[in-house]
Amino acid sequence: MTRMKVGFVGLGKLGMPCAVAMAAKGHDVMGFDCIAANLTKERCNYRETGPDGIAPFEPILRASSLRFGSLEEVARHAEIIFVAVQTPHLPQFEGTTRLTQARADFDYRYLVSAIKDLVAVIHRDTIVVVISTILPGTMRNSVIPLINDRVKLVYNPFFIAMGTTMQDFLTPEFVLLGAHDPGALETVKTFYRQMINAPIHATTLENAELIKLLYNTFVGMKIAFANVAMELCDKTPGTDVDDVIECLSLATRRLISDKYLHGGMGDGGGCHPRDNIAMSWYAQKTQLSFDWFENVMLAREHQTEWLADLMQSYGMPLTILGYSYKENTNITTGSAALLLENILRERNAEVARFDPFVDKDDSHIARDRPRVYLVGSKHAEFQTYAFIPGSVVIDPWRYLTSLDKSVTYRPVGIGPAGIGPGISQS
C-alpha cells in the first residue's frame, strides 16, 4: 500500500472517527478543527464504537497515530485533504419537532468558510475532498467559485451512521465520488482501492450530491412503509407485522433489501429527517408534481401521534424509555422518541423520559404507582429493566422477551387474536 499524507479539516462526530480509521490503515494523518483548537485524544464528547461495532472508540483514538495541527500545518503536510465540515439545519428541521410549512436549504456558511480558509493556505497542488451533505448544485455554485488551480476538487459523501462511523467507513456498501478534476479522481480511487474492499462509483458532482440525499431519504421511506404495515397489523385480527415483513423481505430483486424494513419507532439521527425536509424544499424549488419527501415526514409524525394516542389510552402516567436516536449511542439528534415527547407535551400530558446512554440514572421517575412505558430506543438494558408492577409496557420493536408477568406487555404491530376479516371459520 502507498502511504499517503492525509489531512482532515473538521474533527467532529464524522471527521474524527474517519481520520482515525485512515490512520489505522497506515496513512500519515493530521487533523484540524476550528472549534476545538486545543484538541487532544484524551476526551471524546460523544459515544462511538470501534471498527468491530463493539469495542469503544475512545481507546482506539488515544492509541492512534492521528495528530493535530493548525490549518496551515495541515495544508503543508497533506497530499489529500478531507473536509468534514457540518452543513447544519436549524433545530426545527432536525426531526424532533413537528414539520412546519417552512422549508430551507442546508446552512453552508461553515463549509464555505472552511473552503475559503483552506484555499488561502494551500500553496501547491493538493487534492481537496469535500464529504459534507449538500443539495444538488452546491459544489458547482458555492464551492467551485472559491477554489484556484492549486486545488484539485472531488466530492465524496460518506454513507455512515453516527455512533458506528468508523465501522461504516471501513466496510461500506460502495464508495461514491463526484468528479471535478479527473487526475484527482483517479488518485482518490487508488487511495480507496488500497484501503477498502467495496465498489467505487464515480459520477458527476450533481449526481453524487443527489445520490447521497436520495440514499438517505430512501432509508426514511422504508422505515415509514414498515410502520404503515405495523399499524395495519396492530388493528387487523390474525395479523403479525413481523410475519408480513418477513415475506415482503423475500423480494430482494424489487424491494432491494430488508435493511431498515422493520416496524418500530420513526426514522431518526442527524441525517435522514433533515434530509427529507431539505429535499422537500428542493422538490418545491424544482416544481415536482408531488412532494413525496413532505409526506414521508408527515407519515413519520402521524405514526408518532398514533403511538402518543396509544400511550394515553391507558390513563396512567407516561414514561419514554430510551430517547437516543438508536440503540447503543447517546446521540439524540433527530430522535423520533423526542418527537413523541414533544407531541405529548403539546397535549399537556406529563411525560418522563430515561435513557441509560444519556442519563445518570432513572431516579427522577416516580415509582409510587403503575405507569405506561414506551420503549423509544432498543437498548439491551431494557430487557432487564425494573418495571413497576401493574404497568403497561408498549414495545414498538417487539424485542422484550422476558418481562415479568406483573406487567402488561403491549408489542406494537401484532394484531388482536381472532379471525381476520373475510375469513370464514370451518
pTM value is: 0.76
**Domains of the chain (ranges plus CATH)?**
5-198 (3.40.50.720), 213-411 (3.40.50.720)
**Residue from 277, 269, 309 nearest 295 by CA:** 277
270 vs 12: CA distance, rounded Å: 13
* Cell numbers found for residue 89: 439545519
Q: Which long-range contacts (CB under 8 A, 24 or more apart) does 278-286 make?
A: 278/89, 278/93, 278/103, 278/104, 278/105, 278/106, 278/135, 278/213, 279/135, 279/213, 279/214, 279/217, 280/103, 281/103, 281/104, 281/105, 282/105, 282/135, 282/136, 284/103
Rounded to 5°, the CA angle 389-354-48 comes to: 135
Residue 404 forms beta bridges with which residues? none
Q: What is the pLDDT of residue 425?
A: 31
- The amino acid at 384: T
- The amino acid at 168: D
Q: 306 and 363 in contact (C-beta within 8 Å)?
A: no
List the chain residues with pLDDT less than 50: 418-426
Q: What is the pLDDT of residue 226?
A: 83
**352-403, pLDDT tens digit by residue?**
999 999 999 999 999 999 999 999 999 999 999 999 999 999 999 999 988 8
Q: Is residue 176 within a helix (H) or strand (E), and if so which, with residue range?
A: strand 175-179
DSSP 414: B
